[in-house]
Amino acid sequence: MRSYFRAPLTSLSGPVQPPPPGVCPLSLAAIMSSIISVANLSKTYGSGFKALKNVNLDIKRGEIFALLGPNGAGKTTLISIICGIANPSEGRVLVGGEDIQTSYRKARSLIGLVPQELHTDAFESVWATVSFSRGLFGKPKNPAHIEKVLKDLSLWDKKDNKIITLSGGMKRRVMIAKALSHEPQILFLDEPTAGVDVELRKGMWEVVRTLQQSGVTIILTTHYIEEAEEMADRIGVINKGEIVLVEDKTTLMHKLGKKRLTLHLQGKIAALPENLHHYELELCDNGATLVYDYDTKGERTGITSLLGDLRTAGIRFNDLDTTQSSLEDIFVDLVRTS
Amino acid sequence: MNHRAIRAIYLFEMARTWRTLLQSIVSPVVSTSLYFVVFGAAIGSRISQVEGVSYGTFIVPGLIMLSVLTQSIANASFGIYFPKFTGTIYEILSAPISYFEIVLGYVGAAATKSIILGLIILATAGLFVPLHIHHPIWMLAFLVLTAVTFSLFGFIIGIWADGFEKLQMIPMLVVTPLTFLGGSFYSIDMLPPTWRTVALLNPVVYLISGFRWSFYEIVDVSVAVSIGMTIAFLVICLVVIWWIFRTGYRLKN
Ligand SMILES: Nc1ncnc2c1ncn2[C@@H]1O[C@H](COP(=O)(O)OP(=O)(O)OP(=O)(O)O)[C@@H](O)[C@H]1O
Ligand SMILES: [Mg+2]
């Protein structure tokens, strides 16, 4: 994983893409308006455990939002409350402008949910269970739509199979099909690609992108940071029940454009000489190394002049290396410090 | 009203019935036939008549009630327990559907199944003993009322149960004894006075008495009391279910 998600960073950090053709021409205000609005949400479980602490979060219409966080951070709890599976202890959630408690019918009919755990029927056929979901959400029969969903998820040839005879990855896709059966405007994917092989994972990303192009808002949780990098428009990080960061991916990626130059000095120095004071330099390891942070996207990195000034100051070094921070570094940092 | 959702749940539950046809229909019919052989033919031949009808005929309403009660509870409790057990309940809870609609779907299917079963047992009984039903409409009304009431009761058990033992416990330890002691196989007039008073504390006595009245016009307690008690139990179940959904008891965290 690690090496993979370092490689394609630069290609992702370009300017914001124009919306792909086919995105409905809503006014900018409508596009930017939030489809989910979570305000001061807290959750205390019966055991007394506080799983969410005053969470505030807005999801924009039409975006793909990735929620990252370590095990037990509260991702599933947050999703469960928005979808009506758990009761909030405090706070308010609006979905499409409707309160999830007082106007639950309208709110819930907008949402498709793919939970983290594999909860499926056993003896029903794939077709029957997906059609059941559509009925449950009050939609009239539409075999053509169900067919399309099953085909998109490569389940068409399994449509008459009993669910119990499917593999784990197929079952997960059945759950996605159930969530899509009623044409939701919002799709929650709680770790959609856990246990799904690499090829199918890519296929699923494709499905998710197509959905986004048709106007569906997607909220996904994942432990694969590459997945967030690959898919999301915005990224939120949650830890111990608190949202610690919400940022556009491109902004985050810009931060990732930062590189660090480490110079291993031949001899220790006590302090920086006068002519180096205007650099963002840090003296580490008791004066054995110099650390310089620079922006690869900047007009100039300043490396050339730094090296020149080092020579002028008579500072020599044995070795140098550069490192690039990844989304994972940011993530790990955040989680450690929060 | 999300009528499509009610329909979806109802048909889903009925499909489960057809899939398990053998267990759902055939086994109660077999066991009822055994009751007729044992009680009707073997023992009944030594008992003359009970209040003017032959013993074999006398036990028919009680036998039907026995099956309808146990099957209503079993169907409804299993119907809602199973999604809790497998986790598929998430979908019901996240659907745009009211609690009333959920109950309508599950309880409707469970009650339908036990009404069909009751009628099949009635037909089976007709093969063993001569039957005539004085008040067919009332007979059906009692059948439906009992099936609905005990399906509601089963629904409550299914929500309350957090393991398979609990699911079995109430039907085994409470309902079956109450039914056997509730006058399925005898008239409570046959009991000594003290036991007769005790028997009147058993709600099943009222169900069976009313149901038997619709067949033969013989009663242990008055018909009005029978109907009143059944409806009272129905209302209690409804109130409990209303409370369950209001609080999310054992359904939502
Ligand atoms: N029903 C429950 N009762 C008590 N505590 C719970 C319950 N469900 C979850 N928790 C606790 O709430 C916290 C958040 O759990 P949650 O499932 O939301 O985490 P998560 O971010 O989805 O984790 P993961 O990445 O492992 O899926 C955990 O500490 C968990 O133990
Ligand atoms: Mg989770």
Least CA distance to A79: which residue of chain B?
B94
A327 vs B10, more confident: B10
Task: With CB atoms and an 8 Å threshold, state whether A46 touches B253.
Answer: yes
**CA of residue A38 to ligand 1 center, whole Å:** 19
A43 CA: nearest ligand 1 atom: 12
The Cα–Cα gap between B68 and A60 comes to 53
Ranges assigned E (strand) in A285-324: 289-295, 317-324
| DSSP letter for each residue of A266-286 | SS--SS--GGGTTS-EEEEGG
Are A48 and A181 part of one and the same domain?
A: yes
The Cα–Cα gap between B24 and B10 comes to 16
Q: In what order do the strands lie in the sheet with A111-114?
A: A111-114, A186-190, A217-222, A64-68, A234-239, A242-248
Residue A28 has pLDDT above 80, yes or no: no
Decide if A313 is inside a domain: yes
Return the DSSP state at A106.
Answer: H
Q: Which two tokens stand for residue B158?
A: 């299914």
pLDDT digit string, tens, across residues A75-100: 999 999 999 999 999 999 999 999 99
Percentage of residues in chain A having pLDDT higher than 90: 49
Residue with the two structure tokens 């660090």 = A260
Ranges assigned E (strand) in B83-230: none
The Cα–Cα gap between A263 and A302 comes to 14
Between A239-243, A275-279, B18-22, the lowest mean confidence (pLDDT) is in: B18-22
- Tell me the shortest Cα–Cα distance from A148 to chain B, in angstroms: 21
A70 CA: nearest ligand 1 atom: 25
Instruction: Find chain B residues with C-beta within 8 A of A123's C-beta.
Output: 16, 19
Q: Which two tokens stand for residue A325?
A: 């921070």
Task: Find out whether the beta carbon of A85 lies less than 6 Å from any atom of ligand 1.
Answer: no
Which of A197, A221, A253 represents a domain boundary (last residue)? A253
User: In Å, how far from its chain's centre is CA A233?
Assistant: 8
CB B68 within 8 A of CB B143: yes
Average model confidence (pLDDT) across chain B: 88
Q: What SS3 state is found at A184? A: coil
- Our count of domains for chain B comes to 1
Residue A214: other Cβ atoms inside 10 A: 13
Pick from B144, B153, B85, B89: nearest CA to B113: B144
B95 close contact with A: CB closer than 8 A:
yes
Rounded CA Rg of chain B: 19
The Cα–Cα gap between A114 and A180 comes to 9
B253 CA: nearest ligand 1 atom: 1
Are A83 and A195 part of one and the same domain?
A: yes
Residue with the two structure tokens 């480490």 = A262
A51 close contact with B: CB closer than 8 A:
no
Are A154 and A296 part of one and the same domain?
A: no
Query: Which DSSP helix (H) or strand (E) runs through B227?
Result: helix B223-247
CB A71 within 8 A of CB A17: no
ipTM: 0.88
- pLDDT of A24: 42
Are A216 and A282 part of one and the same domain?
A: no
**What is chain A's percent helix, strand, coil content, to nearest 5?**
40, 25, 35
B7 vs A285, more confident: B7
The Cα–Cα gap between A322 and B97 comes to 57
Which of A231, A253, A275 represents a domain boundary (last residue)? A253
Decide if A4 is inside a domain: no
pLDDT digit string, tens, across residues B53-101: 888 888 899 989 988 998 899 999 999 999 999 999 999 999 999 988 9
Are A41 and A99 part of one and the same domain?
A: yes
The Cα–Cα gap between A252 and A248 comes to 6
Decide if B74 is inside a domain: yes
CATH of the domain at A101: 3.40.50.300
- pLDDT of B32: 81
Are A193 and A333 part of one and the same domain?
A: no
| DSSP letter for each residue of A52-92 | EEEEEEEEETT-EEEEE--TTSSHHHHHHHHHTSS--SEEE
- pLDDT of A256: 65
- Tell me the shortest Cα–Cα distance from B7 to chain A, in angstroms: 8
Residue A27 has pLDDT above 50, yes or no: no
Q: Which two tokens stand for residue B35?
A: 């009751």
Are A218 and A115 part of one and the same domain?
A: yes
Task: Find out whether the beta carbon of A45 lies less than 6 Å from any atom of ligand 1.
Answer: yes
**Residue A259's beta-bridge partner residues?**
A294, A324
Instruction: Find chain A residues with C-beta within 8 A of B88's C-beta.
Output: 119-121
Residue B43 has pLDDT above 80, yes or no: no
Note down the domain range covering B53. 3-247
Decide if B252 is inside a domain: no
Residue A16 has pLDDT above 60, yes or no: no
Task: With CB atoms and an 8 Å threshold, state whether A105 touches B2.
Answer: yes
Instruction: Find chain B residues with C-beta within 8 A of A80's C-beta.
Output: 253
Decide if A307 is inside a domain: yes
B219 vs B104, more confident: B104
Which residue among A52, A68, A75 is best mutated to probe the pocket of ligand 1, counting the most ligand atoms within 8 A of its Cβ?
A75
- Our count of domains for chain A comes to 2
- pLDDT of A325: 66
A84 close contact with B: CB closer than 8 A:
yes
CB B125 within 8 A of CB B39: no
Rounded CA Rg of chain A: 24
Task: From residue A21, give the alpha-carbon distance in Å to each of A3, A62, A213, B120.
Answer: 33, 14, 8, 62
Phi, psi dihedrals of residue A95, rounded to the nearest 5°: -120, 120
The Cα–Cα gap between A35 and B140 comes to 51
The Cα–Cα gap between A303 and A308 comes to 9
Task: Find out whether the beta carbon of A72 lies less than 6 Å from any atom of ligand 1.
Answer: yes
Average pLDDT (B239-243) is 92
Task: Find out whether the beta carbon of A187 lies less than 6 Å from any atom of ligand 1.
Answer: no
Residue with the two structure tokens 């146990």 = B70
Note down the domain range covering A50. 28-253
Residue B40: other Cβ atoms inside 10 A: 22
Instruction: Find chain A residues with C-beta within 8 A of B102's C-beta.
Output: none
Which of A194, A223, A253 represents a domain boundary (last residue)? A253
Instruction: Find chain A residues with C-beta within 8 A of B96's C-beta.
Output: 104-109, 137-138
pLDDT digit string, tens, across residues A109-136: 999 999 999 898 888 999 999 999 999 9
Decide if A1 is inside a domain: no
The Cα–Cα gap between A306 and A40 comes to 48
